[in-house]
Amino acid sequence: MSAAFVDALQGEWLKQRRSLATWMVLAGACFTPAIILVVRLVRHAGLSALHAAADFWTQLWSSAWESSAIFFLPMGLVLATSLIVQIEFRNNTWKQVHTLPIGPATIYFAKLAIVLLLLVQFLLAFNLALWFTAAVPAWLVPGVAMPTAPIPWAAFLRDDLGYAVGGLPIVGLQYAIALRHRNVMVPVGIGFLLWVGTLGMLSTRWGSLSPYAATMLQYIGVASPGKLPPPVVDVHGLALGYFVLFTVAGYLLFARARSKG
Amino acid sequence: MSCLQTRQLVHRYRDDLVLDGIDLDVPAGSIYGFLGPNGAGKTTTLRLLLGLLACEGGEIRVFGRRLQDDRRGLLRRIGSMIESPSFYEHLTARENLLLLQRIHRCPKARIDEVLELVGLAGTGRKRAGLFSLGMKQRLGIAIALLHGPELLILDEPTNGLDPNGIVEMRALLQRLNRERGMTLLVSSHLLAEVERLVTHLGILHRGRLLFQGPIDALRARQRATRLLVLRTDDDVAAQARLAQAGHVARIEERRLVLPALDDAGVVAIVRDLVGAGIGVREVGGSRGDLESLFLDMVDPATAREAA
């Protein structure tokens, strides 16, 4: 990693501080765990038995990922990617970025790295929020103890990695689209349509080929095996392939633009 | 010695020729005013100079090197502000400079130095988006100055500033040129605004460079083109009478126009015409300032009306 890239990355990290994208990612990651927590605090009658169950963590993991894998993660990535790029358009700073003594590859990949860091931030916040979903009732509700079942870290990390890889094609495609459109509604609108289209296609044999399908397929494949037709190809391998394809295509379009800023 | 040179710079927007063979020559250490009406092609030229637009024809040399050969190296020596100041509104002035300081790899002390220089040292935690127009403009200048460039390219830097702000900006730019030997290329559509600032001038109109040189050369040209205007009872007879006295006058829109004379010369021809029985109703001159010369170059019809 070159020193120029590290400098650019630090600059990009500073830019996204206090930006809407950061808050959206945190809100998206914590939303489902927060809802589960509120429901459990309100209906706390059977909570002590639930906390004593041997499969407490896998049950919690599964119910928290349901809406996150289907909606919050894909749409969060659509919004976060579009908003990170929008920082430059909204502030009219592309021309400043392009007159810095750094190459287009540094500019392109430093910003992409920030979006990927936000993806990691989403997963970290989600995992942490899930732990609080178990801890807060133990602190607040009398008679409810911290779950005694061990946290299956290895399985959770494997799932996290799977969801991260599944989100990569969404980031790659949204990034390439967002860089070409000043109006943030264009990448967000395209992302929403592709997400809706993917949902519609999921029950078909070809649904697994959508770049937006990987996180959904991963969840449904574990929570409801056999509910959907088997994927045509390996979902995560395809996701990585899509990511490389979209990233390279996006970079070529970005670097070869005749008018910059 | 030239700091920045272009040769036969050409740019098209779709089928329109926006720049038609521009030969800019910005001397090192000068304040070069790049003047032209709105839409003349000034911003397009500046964007080409910075590589924000792909060069379609011609050559750009900065500090003697071709821009396309070492754009990144040359950008380290150039500061710029194109169209409007660009900064991140959700960050403070200091944060805006901090993220650029890392990329330029200049000392952190430069941040305080440039904030002090442009008068934004006391803005603290106030976000840049809440700044007044003048403060935003000054932040744009601070960003352009952060890495201590040798060449500063500013596109309409006084746009939107109040008269006091314009005076302050002019003083700042002159100070940078005088004390730090910085070469400045400043675009504007108002001659009056750059007249008191620049040492050299380039006048662009409809994609063509109509004049380029020291401001003194333009002033000399202005002196040479000053006119005397007479309104008489009988322009034809007056023209003949003046010709006898060795003056070449032309009749233009019911007026006699001839090259400017000194006071004694004006008195002499008026006395002569009146003596010949020709009534002189008005004696005047063309406005004879740089503005009218500029207008004459870019829009002769309007210039005549103004005169």
pLDDT for residue B297: 72
For residues B141 and B285, membership in a common domain is answered with no
Interface contact A93-B104, CB threshold 8 A: no
User: Residue B219 has what pLDDT?
Assistant: 81
Would the CA dihedral through B168, B172, B177, B178 be positive or negative? positive
Which of A208, A240, A198 has the alpha carbon at shortest distance from A78? A198
pLDDT at position B7 is: 96
User: Are residues B103 and B239 both part of a single domain?
Assistant: no
Residue range A193-211: average pLDDT? 94
| pLDDT at residue B301, rounded to an integer | 59
Q: Do B152 and B192 have their domain in common?
A: yes
- Mutation for testing the B interface, residue in A96, A114, A182, A258 having most B CBs under 10 Å: A96
pLDDT of B231-260, one tens digit each?
999 999 999 999 998 888 888 888 898 888
- Tell me: do B187 and B239 sit in the same domain: no
Going residue by residue through chain B, which has 307 residues, state the pLDDT in tens, using 9 for 90 and above: 899 999 999 999 888 999 999 999 999 999 999 999 888 999 999 999 999 999 999 999 999 999 999 999 999 999 999 988 999 999 999 999 999 999 999 999 999 999 999 999 989 999 999 999 889 999 999 999 999 999 999 999 988 788 888 898 899 999 999 999 999 999 998 888 888 899 999 999 999 999 999 998 888 877 777 788 899 999 999 999 999 988 888 888 888 988 888 888 899 999 999 999 999 999 987 655 666 677 777 666 555 555 5
Chain A residues touching B44 at Cβ < 8 A? none
pLDDT for B302 equals 59
Q: What is the pLDDT of residues A68-112, one digit of tens each?
A: 999 999 999 999 999 999 999 999 999 999 999 999 999 999 999
Q: Which of B173, B195, B214 is the last residue of a domain?
A: B214
pLDDT in the model for residue B287 = 59
The structural domain count of chain B equals 2
The domain that holds B93 is classified in CATH as: 3.40.50.300
Both B25 and B48 in one domain: the answer is yes
- A244: Cβ contacts below 8 Å, ≥ 6 apart: A172
Alpha carbon distance A240, A95 (integer Å): 32
How confident is the model at residue A187, as a pLDDT? 97
CATH of the domain at B264: 3.30.70
**Percent of the residues in chain B that have a pLDDT greater than 90, as a whole number:** 67
**In a shared domain, residues B186 and B165:** yes
Angle at B142 between CA B141 and CA B146, to 5 degrees: 120
Q: Which of A7, A92, A94 sits opposite B84 (nearest CB)?
A: A92
| Interface touch B75/A93, C-beta < 8 Å | no
Subunit contact B78:A11, Cβ cutoff 8 A: no
- Nearest residue of A to residue B86, measured between CA atoms: A93
Nearest to A7 among B54, B78, B103 (CB): B103
Quick one: pLDDT at residue A1? 64
Tokens standing for residue B304: 């005549």
Task: Read off the pLDDT of each residue in A122-137 and give the average, rounded to a whole number.
Answer: 96
> At which of B171, B196, B214 does a domain end?
B214
Q: Assess contact for B192 and B216: CB atoms under 8 A.
A: no
* Cβ distance of A10 and B102 shorter than 8 Å: yes
Q: Within this chain, do residues B89 and B14 fall inside the same structural domain, yes or no? A: yes
Burial of residue A160, with CB atoms counted within 10 A of its CB: 0-12 exposed, 13-18 middle, 19 or more buried = middle
| Domain match, B132 and B243 both | no
**Structural domain for B237, as ranges:** 222-306
Residues A138 and A122: their CA atoms lie apart, in Å, by 25
CB contact under 8 A, B52 and A7: no
Judged by a CB distance cut-off of 8 A, whether residue B14 touches chain A is no
Minimal-distance CA residue of chain B relative to A10: B99
The pLDDT, as a whole number, for residue A10 is: 94
Nearest CA in chain A to B82: A95
The reply to whether B17 and B156 lie within a common domain is yes
Run of H or E residues at B61: strand B57-62
Scanning every residue of chain B, which has its alpha carbon at the shortest distance from the alpha carbon of A93? Answer: B86
Say if B201 is an interface residue toward chain A (CB within 8 Å): no
Chain A residues in contact with B152 by the CB 8 A cut-off are none
pLDDT band at A62 (very low <50, low <70, confident <90, very high): very high
Q: List CB contacts (< 8 A) between A261 and chain B.
A: 47, 52, 82
Q: Do B184 and B141 share a structural domain?
A: yes
Show the tokens assigned to A99: 């007159």
Question: Where among B190, B214, B238 does a domain terminate?
Answer: B214
Q: Do B268 and B137 fall within a single domain?
A: no
Mean pLDDT of A116-133: 96
Indicate if ipTM > 0.90: no
3-state secondary structure of B135: helix
Structure tokens given for A211:
């770049």
Q: What is the pLDDT of residue A99?
A: 96
pTM: 0.86
Question: What DSSP line would sit under chain A, residue for residue?
Answer: --HHHHHHHHHHHHHHTT-HHHHHHHHHHHHHHHHHHHHHHHS-TTHHHHHH-TTHHHHHHHHHHHHIIIIIHHHHHHHHHHHHHHHHHHTT-HHHHHTSSS-HHHHHHHHHHHHHHHHHHHHHHHHHHHHHHHHHHHHHSTTPPPP-SPP-HHHHHHHHHHHHHHHHHHHHHHHHHHTT-SSTHHHHHHHHHHHHHHHHHTTSGGGGGSTT-HHHHHHHHHHSTTSSPPPSS-HHHHHHHHHHHHHHHHHHHHHT-SB--
One domain, residues B181 and B80: yes
At residue B222, the pLDDT reads 75
